[in-house]
Structure 1
Amino acid sequence: MSVIEEERVRGGVFKDINAEDEDGQPTVIESLCMNCYENGSTRLLLTKIPFFKEIIISSFTCPHCNWSNTETQSAGRIQEQGVLYTLQVKTKEDLNREVVKSDSASTRIPELDFEIPAFTQKGSLSTIEGLLDRAVVGLEQEQPARKATDPAVAEKIEEFIQRLKKLKDDFQEEFTLIIDDPSGNSFIENPFAPQKDKSLSVTHYKRTPQHNAALGIEVEEEQDDEEPGNDLDTMRNEVLVFNTNCPECNAPANTNMKLVQIPHFKEVIIMATNCDSCGHRTNEVKSGGTTEDQGTRITLHLTDPSDMSRDLLRSETCSVLIPELEFEMGMAALGGKFTTLEGLLRDIKELVVSKNPFMCGDSFTADRAEKLQLFGQKIDKIMAGEMDVQIILDDPTGNSYLQNVYAPDPDPEMKIERYTRTFEQNEDLGLNDMKTEGYAET
């Protein structure tokens, strides 16, 4: 086990950035200078940047030849799915949106036929204007050499540099910014949160084997042979336990898994992880069945505080809408969860208000804080039964559920609609690439 992993197990190796923290001192290691081959020193600082997860900052200096080198490496974990952000930059204010770009993310501007491939730049926390500045600096760096060796190419690159500067400084034309990150660790700010951003599209996708190879992930092959004794009857009556690592401190932990039958619905798999080292707890719900032929839209009109105790199953593909608050939370925002309606509203408030990284630091503004605090107060009123709203659960896989307290009779305050998925929804779910009939035909 490495030194970093040992410290992680004990907890507290990655510290939050805090100007008043006297313990956040870097670790100094004697290192060989690759310029003069004398001994220099490397300073390592393991820290956490809000919404940029864990990073390792290293700085090398040599007292003999005065050579120095500074580098930042991501220490965050790779997410379960990749993410694709598509932003229509329509105003000059959009250039101020904050952007987290990991080193595995590629950046494209189709209107300019411009692309920054993955792993060609280090991860950064910047703005859209900062991304354009960084691209301009990178292109200008080799211009003197190009002008001396190939003036024609240098002239074309100079024209392209001027177009990038024009986008950044004058902003006379709209353009599209696309960030594709297979690791899922990149992000583009939504300045209208908690409302939906009409200019920003976020798509989560399953990584291909090529993506996994580029990220250095080794995927284990699935075993087709069934072992005796692993039947459904055994799973229904037992709590299965398997070893895993804590998602917060990476210490060894146990995950409990149980197959549960929800009345008037279907079977689901509930998984819960408790970490003895740092006390972190997490739970997740997976559907025990297949993807339904049609999507499901459940609309509940809240008329009484007792509605908060209704059982609720939200799959990881389910969106939550509250029209009266102009609020929409897309799929994969909170993952699958089996809770109550009150528990869902508390999770929404915590995600939007308490854990919002733009409530602190350089991105903090009084107007944004006031708007988010007002949203939190409205959520409190809904939970107290003081606000008349509708809760909409829209799940294209049909695997979400909201308790009908009048079952088996219809619920007068709840409406369940079945609908046919669109091509885009099937594409997001990976169903368009699935062929279950006639796959053996040539």
Structure 2
Amino acid sequence: MAASGAVEPGAAAATAAPSPAPAQAPAPEHLFRPISAEDEEQQPTEIESLCMNCYRNGTTRLLLTKVPFFREIIVSSFSCEHCGWNNTEIHSAGRIQDQGVRYALTVRTQEDMNREVVKTDSATTSIPELDFEIPAFTQKGALTTVEGLISRAISGLEQDQPTRRANEEAVAERIDEFIVRLKELKRVASPFTLIIDDPSGNSFVENPHAPQKDHALVITHYNRTVQQEEMLGLQAEAPEEKPEEEDLRNEVLQFNTNCPECNAPAQTNMKLVQIPHFKEVIIMATNCDSCGHRTNEVKSGGAVEPLGTRITFHITHPSDLTRDVLKVTKNPFTLGDSSNPGQMEKLWEFSQKLDQILEGNVKAHFIMNDPAGNSYLQNVYAPEDDPEMKVEHYKRTFDQNEELGLNDMKTEGYETGLVPQR
């Protein structure tokens, strides 16, 4: 996808005419295909639709695709051959996430301007250096780039300038000055910060260095406020009466949920398990009968520990590799127009190093750092110490407490009704 491919704003949304349902729906894995300029089979679906500008029939094109290291989205594009009106937008193909997300990107180079961006309707976009903000639900969702977001903002401001110059000349002049400042950002004359805050959790900013850490991008997940829940149309649940405590160690609980892969109704099993020489954990497993997707997750059954934990394990034999390993060998952003020189080589070198460790040809250190202190690595010598494993407990930093939400917690004075004030 070209770096300058900004999504053009539209004046209204296109309403698709109903189309007959297919006799048999295709398998979910064939519905959403990764973005790739070389995938000839990835063609959009065309639907005859009503143009909301001239009220004649136009064409809507739908493309179901996957954004690498993110999730599935639906790209919708409408065009009318009669009046020339067109509109493009994106929608998340999944549910609203459990937490909101905030991306803070420091743009320093032209390569940062080429980063892929998914911005949903509910996201707020801001540039603190210009005191500039695009509120939520004032623009349609977009699959674009950082440069495309700025170009879209410029187009939106320029759209009504002729009317302003005729009626409010002073306001039009101030907006002209602001447009000049936005255009200067596209040249990256000096670093600036782009913030995308989405309470739905469905927006995304590309990390071109994946699977390595991106030092220019800070991602923060947060719990939504009551106002944000209402804005997204989520009904707040009434507080439930506290049930009587019961022993759940020997019982498997089941509850209905949605498949994280195809969003079809599924069932999740949950059980409380005691890990020897550690603590109680909650094991959750979800199986989807629609697409066959299986997932399992382990959550801590206790509170955040007073100290963080850092576990260093020295891998000396292939038998030590009895844990899951994530191996990245193909990234669609390294193909076609979106590829950057050297990015494919970095991923290939990373994959080769993993292969050497898996084959036992290279010794390595496995480090697991958990500020919450709730992670665990099996000690086969328990209760004796493992000679190849080192467990360290440390005091968390202010930033680590901030990520865990501990800095704002007030735990003093509740018995007397006197809560300390900050």
Query: Could you tell me how far apart the structure 2 residues matched to 1:123 and 1:35 are?
Result: 20
Q: Which residue of 2 aligns with 1:85?
A: 103
Structure 2 residue 67 is matched with structure 1 residue 55: no
Are positions 1:398 and 2:416 aligned together? no
Is contact 1:40-1:60 (8 Å) kept?
A: no
Say how many residue pairs are matched: 390
Q: Residue 249 of structure 2: which of 232, 236, 247 is its match?
A: 236
Does residue 418 of structure 1 match 2:393?
A: yes
Read off the aligned partner of 1:391 and give its amino acid letter: F
Kept in 2, the 8 Å contact 1:11–1:249? The answer is: no
Q: Matches of 2:340 and 2:406 in 1, distance apart?
A: 42
Q: Which amino acid aligns with 1:138?
A: G
1:358 aligns with 2:333: yes
Conserved? CA contact 1:274–1:280, under 8 Å? yes
Q: Does residue 288 of the first structure (1) align with residue 301 of the second (2)?
A: yes
| Secondary structure class of the residue paired with 2:342 | helix
Give the structure with the higher percent helix. Answer: 1
Query: In 1, distance between residues paired with 2:169 and 2:310?
Result: 61
CA gap of 1:357–1:295, structure 2 versus 1, over 3 A, is: farther
Is the contact made by 2:280 and 2:300 (CA closer than 8 Å) also made in structure 1?
Answer: yes
Counterpart check, 1:217 vs 2:223: no
Q: Deviations over 1:312-341 (max 9, x none)?
A: xxxxxxxxxxxxxxxxxxxxxxxxxxxx2x
Segments of structure 1 that go 5 or more residues without pairing to the other structure are: 310-339
How far the C-alpha of 1:209 sits from its partner, in A, is 1.5
CA distance in 1, matches of 2:158, 2:43: 40
Q: Deviations over 1:363-414 (max 9, x none)?
A: 2345212211210111121122222221111111111000112111111221
Q: Does 1:277 align with 2:290?
A: yes
Q: Does 1:126 align with 2:141?
A: no
Pick one of 199, 210, 222 that aligns with 1:193. 210
Query: CA–CA distance in 1 between the matches of 2:333 and 2:42?
Result: 25
1:286-312 Cα shifts (integer Å, max 9, x gaps): 111111111111111222222112xxx
Task: State the match for 2:345 in structure 1.
Answer: 370
- TM-score, length-normalised on structure 2? 0.83
Aligned partner of 2:280 among 267, 271, 275: 267
Pair 1:41–1:194, CA change in 2 (3 A):
closer
**TM-score, L = length of structure 1:** 0.80
**Is 1:431 paired with 2:409?**
no
Structure 1 consecutive aligned stretches of length 4 or more whose deviation exceeds 6 Å: none
Moved more, 362-371 or 121-130: 362-371
- 2:418 is equivalent to residue 441 of structure 1: yes
CA 132–22 in structure 1, closer or farther in 2 if over 3 Å, else same: closer
Structure 2: which amino acid aligns with 1:108? S
Give the superposition deviation at 1:52: 5.8
Question: In angstroms, what is the RMSD of aligned CA positions?
Answer: 2.8
Alpha-carbon distance between aligned partners in 2 of 1:242 and 1:146, rounded to the nearest angstrom: 57
Unpaired stretches in structure 2, ≥5 consecutive residues: 1-17
- In 1, Cα distance between equivalents of 2:60 and 2:185: 38
Q: Separation in 1 of the partners of 2:202 and 2:26?
A: 22
Q: Structure 1: which amino acid aligns with 2:413?
A: G
**What percentage of residue pairs aligned between the two structures are identical?**
58
Show CA shifts across 1:4-33 (max 9, x none). Answer: 9x98x955474437864498533446x5x6
